[in-house]
Chain A
Amino acid sequence: MVIKVEGLRLEYRTGAGMFPVLDIPSWKVGDQAQTAITGSSGSGKSTLLNILAGLLKPSAGSVEVCGTELTRLSESQRDKFRGKNLSYIFQTFNLLQGYTALENVMLGAAFTGNPLDRRSALALLARVGLSRRSGHYPSQLSIGEQQRVAISRSLAKKPKLILADEPTGSLDPFHSGEVVDLLCEACREHGCALILVSHEMKVAERFADRVDFMTLNLALSGMGGKK
């Protein structure tokens, strides 16, 4: 299992008391699985990804990612864990502006202790069809191209898990489908699991594996079944 969540709860302290954000009694994702999480805005989809990435600590429960119990790790240990095991793709502004596409890809493995050489980085860019844009800066790339660079970068560290938070949120339907297909194919080729969060059902439906629904403030009520 790449993800094993038990009794996960996240609450925020507000003036009116504790406000529940997430409550997931049990949730598992198998190795190399491709899972889409959908749900309305504010339902806690991104929050769940942040917990899985070790960027946020839950109020209670156990979160095991790639065989490591994240709740027992310090922030620094979680940073290192993230650096080695998983990649994160955001909706926008994935790339560092002062770095070329190639350098952004190389940055993906910069904190793994096993940096990526230029040739391998170029091969990853070629995989997403951007070998001729390797020297371009993010401002010289379209949003779709930037997302493809982000996909290349997410693969740079050879992760066991890729977390994608609304990766198609800023794209038109044509490019949106293209990016999702590319992401799924790349993950399959590299043998890593993929958790994709999207509020668009069409995006989720492209997934081969399964689609989970996230309902507002409550647990992951997965459809469980395959498309």
Chain B
Amino acid sequence: MNFPRIVFKSLRSHWLSTGLAIVSIALGVALLDAVVSLREQTHRNFTQEGLGVDAILGPKGSPLQITLNALYHLEEMPGKIKWSYYRKVLADDVVADGIPFITGHSYAGFRVNAIDDRFFSAFEYLPGQHFSFRSEDGGQGRVFSGNREAVAGSEAARLLNITLGKTFNPTCGVNAGDPVHVNDTITFVGIMAPTGTPHDRAVYIPLKSFYTLEGHGNDVRDMAVNEEHREISGAYLKIKRIRGNVLHPGIQDLKYNIGQSSQAQLVIPNEVLPRLFNIIGWVDHVIMGIALLVTLLALLFLFIALISALRERRRDLALLRCLGATRRTVMGLVLCESLFMAAAGALLGMIAGHLIVGLGCEMIRVETGLRFSAAYVSTADLYIVPAVLALGLLAAVIPAVQAYRLGVLKNLTLIS
């Protein structure tokens, strides 16, 4: 009968309060772990190298709105920019490449963007990662080549049951009730391999097909042939790098110069997205606060469980003292019990937290196309066990001191 066995037996003797304490700690930790993991993964998803885009050339308006529209297929573009102006920016010394696009159409709730076909060959949705249609990557078909062809992101294809050869008529707008281009039937010729980015939730048609849709007016149709009149929603820009793969510092001058014009603005996603988190930061703090409060309440429960267990076991502890256990031993017993409950609660909580994230990731992927992972190791995973152990020790201080000061004779009622 060694000390760990005595600790285990002691925990088992008050199994109900032990179990409840472990479950309550696990719930608190699970909530905290899941919140931190989702929060960090959200940050990571929204700030991961601007989803392969160094800068977005967009119309005048909210930079956040432009970023959300161009990269996350949310919101609407605040306007259009001239093709000629895009060409002028493209010619700038610091611009390495550009991919123009037009947003504003949709199909069954998914955005339909007209885009330059170089999007599928030159664009890197993450550093070094290009879109793929290869079956071994999970893709199907090919890139569009004709005006009445389209490709779908993997998530859009899955949710809309899109198969190669299926046709659709795009909606002119992104809101319910917007008119449908009934005479413009487009055929899906490709389904992109999953990327874990919002691009999985979009449908793409050739840039030029936008101008040739029958439902558009003559002024728009004229843009197909007349570059002088052509307009686009924006363009993804790749900026040249200097030594160390650092963005060319000239980007700031370019941004300033474009900002001075009346036609467009240069939006740098990595500057804009942190602002989004500043805006919603208070929500973040409230959720974190609630999760912390739940964890602290769980530790308070641990404290109460230890105190009540101590009251029930005063005679047992006095007997142990009689058998030769020192004051330190019985104090250690209470501390170890608390540590065990805290550790078990923290570990179970971490597992539960990852399971919650696992369930949440699927929902988030369906709703946003962003890829979250249950296996993601968050800051909470690194610190939560030592933190809960430390708090578990703290919760056990008073019960342990009470055990230390336990009067043996008083609790054995020996006097005769």
Contacts and interface: CB of A to CB of B under 8 A. Distances in A.
B248 interface: no
Contacts of A27: none
A79 B409 contact: no
A55 interface: yes
Interface string A22-47: 00000000000000000001100111
Interface stretch (A64-72, A111-119, A179-187, A219-227): A111-119
Given A79-B324, A110-B2, A111-B324, A199 B329 contact: no
B324 A84 contact: yes
A46 B415 contact: yes
A97 B319 CA distance: 11
Contacts of A88: 322-323
A99 B416 CA distance: 27
A97 B13 CA distance: 8
Interface string B307-339: 000000001100111111111110000000000
B2 A46 contact: no
Contact of B323 (A41, A83, A115, A166): A83
A56 interface: yes
A94 B416 CA distance: 16
Nearest to A88: B322
A212 interface: no
B279 interface: no
B6 interface: yes
B165 to A, nearest CB: 71
Interface string A110-132: 11100110000000000000000
B323 A110 contact: yes
Interface SS of chain B: helix
A183 B54 CA distance: 89
A199 B416 CA distance: 9
Nearest to A21: B415
A86 to B, nearest CB: 9
Contact of A98 (B12, B321, B322, B326): B12
Interface in A151-172: 153, 157, 165-166
A14 B416 CA distance: 19
B319 A79 contact: no
A147 to B, nearest CB: 14
B2 A83 contact: no
B13 A166 contact: no
| Residue of B6, B320, B323, B412 with most partner-chain A CB within 10 A | B323
Contacts of B328: 76
A79 B2 contact: no
A207 interface: no
Contacts of B416: 41-42, 45-46, 165-166, 197, 199
Contacts of A47: 415
A197 B12 CA distance: 35
Contacts of A41: 416
Contacts of B319: 93-96
B327 A98 contact: no
Q: In which size bucket is the chain B interface?
A: 20 to 34
Nearest to B414: A46
Contacts of A46: 414-416
B404 to A, nearest CB: 11
B280 interface: no
Contacts of A94: 319
A58 interface: no
Contact of A116 (B1, B13, B316): B1
B134 interface: no
B315 A82 contact: no
A49 B323 contact: no
A103 B13 CA distance: 13
B324 A80 contact: yes
Given A56-B409, A76-B327, A76-B328, A82 B322 contact: yes
B65 interface: no
A178 interface: no
Given A55-B408, A103-B1, A98 B13 contact: yes
A55 B329 CA distance: 16
A98 B414 contact: no
Interface string B1-38: 11100100110110000000000000000000000000
A90 B327 contact: no
A165 to B, nearest CB: 6
Contacts of A42: 416
Contacts of B13: 96-98
Nearest to B330: A79
Given A79-B324, A80-B326, A99 B9 contact: yes
B325 A111 contact: yes
A79 B12 contact: no
Contacts of A55: 322, 408-409, 414
Contacts of A49: 414
A55 B409 CA distance: 7
B304 to A, nearest CB: 20
28 contacts: A42-B416, A46-B415, A53-B322, A76-B326, A76-B328, A79-B324, A79-B326, A79-B329, A82-B322, A83-B323, A83-B325, A84-B324, A88-B322, A93-B319, A98-B13, A98-B316, A99-B9, A107-B6, A107-B320, A109-B1, A110-B2, A110-B3, A110-B6, A110-B325, A111-B324, A111-B326, A111-B329, A197-B416
Listed from nearest, the 4 A-B pairs whose CB atoms lie closest are: A83-B324, A98-B13, A111-B324, A106-B1
Given A55-B322, A94-B319, A199-B416, 4 more contacts: A103-B1, A106-B1, A110-B6, A112-B324
